[in-house]
């Protein structure tokens, strides 16, 4: 599995209506919104990997991954409606990482940070739903965060 397949999972979970909502927020078309979503997912994945590697946050990330891995996948479209069906710890972890990820995307794209922050806020429950579905598909296969996210992420230097 590659990072882009996780991005694809998030885009599929997001759905066309929410993608259009993000496009409207950004003042762009669906392709522009898709690029922002892909970049944001890449950054969130990298921030999550970095948090998992740091002693101060590794236990919290591991517990959040375990919680997601033990949750039942949300019904299709629940995340698109803003539900945090399997939110819990992972919602808290991603909420902390959302701002740094959004700032990195804003810096790279030149978009206003506040706008990118709002778009990333829309993505957090969708990322949780995609992680939960991936974990459910891997049940019994073991593995941790790297297995859920796939390939490399946008981790800091």
Q: How far, in Å, CA of 33 to CA of 96, rounded?
A: 23
Q: What residue segments make up the domains of the chain, in order of their start?
A: 3-137
Cα–Cα distance between 22 and 74 in angstroms, integer? 22
Q: What is the length of the chain?
A: 157
- pTM of the shown model: 0.80
Segment 2-52, tens digit of pLDDT: 455 899 999 999 999 999 999 999 999 999 999 999 999 999 999 999 999
């Amino acid at each position: 599995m590659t990072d882009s397949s996780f991005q694809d999972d998030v885009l599929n979970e997001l759905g066309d209506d929410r993608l259009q909502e993000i496009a409207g927020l950004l003042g762009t078309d669906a392709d522009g919104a898709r690029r922002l979503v892909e970049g944001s997912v890449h950054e969130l994945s990298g921030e999550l990997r970095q948090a998992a590697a740091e002693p101060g946050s590794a236990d919290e990330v591991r517990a959040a991954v375990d919680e997601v891995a033990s949750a039942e996948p949300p019904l299709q479209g629940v995340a698109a409606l803003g539900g945090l069906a399997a939110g819990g710890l992972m919602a808290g972890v991603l909420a902390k990482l959302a701002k740094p990820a959004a700032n990195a995307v804003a810096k790279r794209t030149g978009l206003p940070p506040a706008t990118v922050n709002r778009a990333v806020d829309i993505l957090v429950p969708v990322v949780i739903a995609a992680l939960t579905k991936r974990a459910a598909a891997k049940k019994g296969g073991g593995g941790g965060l790297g297995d859920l996210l796939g390939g490399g992420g946008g981790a800091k230097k």
